[in-house]
Amino acid sequence: MAYPDGFTYVEGPYNIRWSVVSSVATFRIRTPVVMADVSRTLQEADSGSTGIYGIALANAADSIGGPLAGKCPVMVPTEQTVFATKVQTGVAASGLEIGEAFDIEKSGNFFRVDTDSKTSARVVLVERGTSGKAIDSADSSVHCQFLRDAIYPFGSNASLRLQD
C-alpha cells in the first residue's frame, strides 16, 4: 500500500488533544510536533528535539473557526501506536530489520525514518502485518513505533510521578 509523506497512523492506541499553534509554526499534517518550552504552543519537531508531543492532524496554517480557532488536533501516540512512513530511496531492504531503532529526519516538508542515524533513536521498526519484514520495497515505506522516551511529555519516563 502506498502511503503519503509523513507519519500515517496504522494501528494502536492514541489520544487526540487540541493544542494552540505557535504564531510562527509552518508544520504540515502528519508531521511530528513538539510543545514549546515557554509558550506551550505547537511547533514542528527538529533534529534537536529530544521528544515529540505527537503527530499533527492538520496543517499549521489551516484554521478552524469558533472555540477551536488557532488550535490543531494532535495525535498523541503511545509506544504501541504504529505508523507508516517512508525511508530514502535506495536503502537495501536487508539493511532494515524489525527491532532496529533509528532517528527521524526532515525531507522536504515532511519527516521520515533516518536510516543513517541510530545515535538519537526515536523510532523502532516493526513488522508490516504478517509479512515478517519492516519495509515494503515497492514504495520505500516502513512501519514503526515511537520509543516510549521519545514521546514527551505524555509518554516518557520523565513524565512519571511517583506517589508519596
**CATH assignment of the domain containing 73:** 2.40.300.10
Shared-domain flag, residues 95 and 72: no
Split into its structural domains, the chain has a count of 2
Say if residues 52 and 121 touch (Cβ distance below 8 Å): no
Contacts for 25-28: CB closer than 8 Å, 24+ residues apart: 25/60, 26/60, 26/61, 27/56, 27/59, 27/60, 28/56, 28/59, 28/60, 28/109, 28/110
Return averaged pLDDT per consecutive 10 residues of the chain, 164 residues in all. Answer: 90 94 92 86 84 93 83 94 89 83 90 86 90 84 90 60 46
Are both 73 and 86 inside the same structural domain?
A: no
* pLDDT for 27: 94
User: Same domain, yes or no, for 106 and 47?
Assistant: no
Tell me if 137 is assigned to some domain. Answer: yes
- Which residues, listed in sequence order, are joined to residue 151 by a DSSP beta bridge? 52
Within a domain: 89? yes
What grid cell was written down for 95?
Answer: 539493511
118 plus 86 within the same structural domain: yes
- Amino acid 155: pLDDT: 59
Do the domain assignments include residue 25? Answer: yes
Q: Domain for residue 37, yes or no?
A: yes
For 44, the domain range is 13-77
**Are 63 and 105 found together in one domain?**
no
pLDDT at 59: 94
**Most distant CA pair in the chain: distance in Å?**
53
CA–CA separation, 16 vs 59, rounded Å?
Answer: 15
Give the pTM. Answer: 0.87
pLDDT in tens, 25-58: 999 999 999 988 778 899 999 877 778 999 999 9
Q: How far apart are CA 105 and CA 123, in angstroms?
A: 11
